[in-house]
Amino acid sequence: MIEIENVCVDFHTKTRTVRALNDVSLSVPQGSVFGLVGESGSGKTTLLRAMMALTAASSGTVKIAGEVVKQNPPLAFRRRVQMVMQDCYASLNPVHTVDQIIGEPLAIHRFDNPEKRILQALKDVGLGPEHRFRFPHQLSGGQRQRVAIARCLAIEPDVMLLDEPTSALDVSIQAEIVNLVMRLQREKGLTLFIISHDLPLVAHMCDRLAIMHKGVVREIITSQDLIDNNVKDEYTKELLSSSL
């Protein structure tokens, strides 16, 4: 579903060039859950942005469902690939109601019967019709993240990219959101790509994961490898020991 081949991303400043991603290659089969782990500054978000065609790759290709991702992609690409942002306190428009937030992508992608789809999307994420006409500030953090997920799901994507989806939430709410995402993934056969710095969380959610450091993928392992401590790379070992 996702094929990333030898992707490099450079950022240019007046005086120097920073290589944010250096020769990253990985592939994620359809319907599986892939995790990306690393410290801040390791290039996780840059990779996600390159997959969303928000940042141009200097070289290499990103393919999603067989199509090469280019800048200014067609509308159909945006429908197929959706993203949940890290901070649900910042990613919902504060002057739009939940109804408008979920309805907007439906209108952009010309879906029929928005009324029914909005209610279904809310139901999918465990919110009721009573939440439909509320503003984001009238919702708790967990409810906001549910709205952000509902907004993605409403337009029936194939791939969902989640950038630290629970780092702004309490652990008890994190557990609810994680269970919700995993249930939806199974029901709808979604391909998920999750960024997190929380190794136990990634081990719980993902089939396979990549460890990034300074723009380089150090190692790609399965979650079982992580649990069995079956890692080879020095940096991964260090990360694993500091997270326990």
Partner 1 sequence: MSRLDIEDLRVSFASRTGPVPALRGINLSVDGGRLGIVGESGSGKSTMGRAIMGLLPPTATVSARRFEFAGQDMLKASTAQKRSMRGRRIGMIMQDPRYALNPVMTVGAQIAECFKLHHGIVGKAAKAKSLDLLSAVRINDPEIVYDQYPHQVSGGMGQRVMIAIALAGEPELLIADEPTSALDASVRTSFLGLLDQIIKERGMSLILISHDLHLVANFCDRVLVMYGGQVMEECTAADLAHPHHAYTKGLAACRPSLAERLPELRTFTRDPAWMEAKS
Binding-site ranges for partner 1 (CB under 8 A): 39-40, 141, 170-176, 178-179, 182, 197-201, 203-204, 226-227, 238-239, 242-244
Quote the least distance from Cβ 224 to partner 1, whole Å: 9
Closest to partner 1 by CB, 65 or 178: 178
Quote the least distance from Cβ 142 to partner 1, whole Å: 10
Phi, psi (5° rounding) for residue 21? -125, 130
HSE-CB of 41 using CA atoms within 13 angstroms: 2
Chain CA centroid to CA 35, Å: 9
Closest to partner 1 by CB, 24 or 226: 226
* End-to-end CA separation in angstroms for the chain: 33
Phi, psi (5° rounding) for residue 213? -150, 125
Closest to partner 1 by CB, 20 or 64: 20
Quote the least distance from Cβ 210 to partner 1, whole Å: 17
For 197, residues 6+ apart whose C-beta sits below 8 A from its C-beta are 37, 38, 39, 40, 164, 167
Quote the least distance from Cβ 9 to partner 1, whole Å: 21
Quote the least distance from Cβ 48 to partner 1, whole Å: 17
CA nearest 32: which of 220, 199, 241, 190? Answer: 190
CA nearest 146: which of 133, 128, 159, 163? Answer: 128
Paired sense of beta strands 67-68 and 33-37, if any? unpaired
Quote the least distance from Cβ 201 to partner 1, whole Å: 5
Closest to partner 1 by CB, 113 or 172: 172
Closest to partner 1 by CB, 42 or 55: 42
Closest to partner 1 by CB, 52 or 201: 201
